[in-house]
């Protein structure tokens, strides 16, 4: 299926590793030019080199999305270099702190900054560029942790639930300028260096029990599977999908703690 992304421009926050890098790779394979950001300049530069194998233009801008003005500077700087904006993917996420008694206000605010507020800032900064391009799409990478509570880490799930609400609200607000807004909600996803990879290495028997219990197919998802859904959703081939939260979880259906 031709996703009609050749010569389009996509921006991906957190595009240097894991799910974000796979999303960037999928866009580039479809012929899109890319702007990606991450905090680690060395890892970011390597990702840019890797992604250029597809022959499209790829730029990387070191960015900490929790710093004042940094997310906006990434969006505006990337569009200035690439000339337009057609798709924005807000992929940065994470959490600070543990359970309620062991977490601070700062932990909660940091978690909201990483997830919800960075998506708000990136979306707001993108609006003038979408107007010039005649529309586009915003996709927020949320999580099934926003669907149902997990045994702990409420601050993370709360931000992911808020991202889903955000997409639905922004879909209405930005529809008049031709911008669709959706969330993709991954389940537990395996990639090298990620949390589940560390769990598998530290506790292989526990990992096997987890995969056997929680997934009909007895395995976790891959970043490529998340990327395929994300890039399709961002393309014009998904033109009637708007304000939706799409689980990509292999029927896992519920978040889990280790």
Q: How far is CA 87 from CA 6, 42, 54, 84, 156, in A?
A: 12, 25, 18, 10, 25
Coil, strand, or helix at residue 119?
helix
Query: How many other β-carbons are positioned within 10 Å of the β-carbon of residue 186?
Result: 25
Tell me how far apart the alpha carbons of residues 208 and 215 are, in angstroms, rounded to a whole number: 11
Enumerate helices (H) and strands (E) in the chain, giving the number of each. 9, 7
Active-site residue list: 156
End-to-end CA distance of the chain: 38
């Amino acid at each position: 299926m031709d996703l009609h992304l050749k010569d389009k421009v996509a921006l991906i926050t957190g595009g240097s590793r894991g799910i974000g890098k796979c999303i960037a790779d999928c866009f580039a394979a479809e012929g899109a030019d890319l702007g990606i950001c991450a905090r680690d300049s060395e890892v970011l530069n390597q990702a840019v080199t890797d992604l250029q194998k597809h022959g499209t233009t790829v730029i990387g801008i070191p960015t900490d999305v929790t710093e004042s003005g940094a997310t906006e500077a990434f969006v505006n700087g990337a569009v200035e270099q690439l000339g337009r904006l057609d798709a924005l993917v807000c992929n940065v996420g994470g959490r600070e702190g543990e359970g309620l008694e062991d977490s601070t206000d700062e932990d909660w605010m940091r978690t909201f900054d990483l997830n919800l507020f960075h998506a708000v800032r990136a979306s707001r900064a993108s609006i003038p560029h979408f107007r010039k391009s005649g529309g586009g799409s915003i996709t927020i990478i949320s999580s099934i942790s926003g669907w149902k509570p997990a045994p702990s880490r409420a601050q993370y799930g709360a931000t992911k639930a808020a991202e889903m609400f955000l997409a639905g609200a922004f879909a209405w607000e930005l529809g008049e300028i031709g911008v669709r807004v959706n969330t993709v909600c991954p389940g537990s996803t395996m990639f090298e260096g990620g949390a589940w990879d560390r769990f598998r290495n530290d506790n292989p028997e526990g990992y096997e029990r987890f995969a056997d219990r929680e997934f009909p197919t007895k395995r976790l998802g891959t970043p490529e599977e998340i990327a395929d859904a994300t890039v399709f959703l961002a393309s014009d081939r998904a033109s009637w999908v708007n304000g939706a939260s799409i689980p990509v979880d292999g029927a896992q259906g519920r978040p889990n703690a280790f």
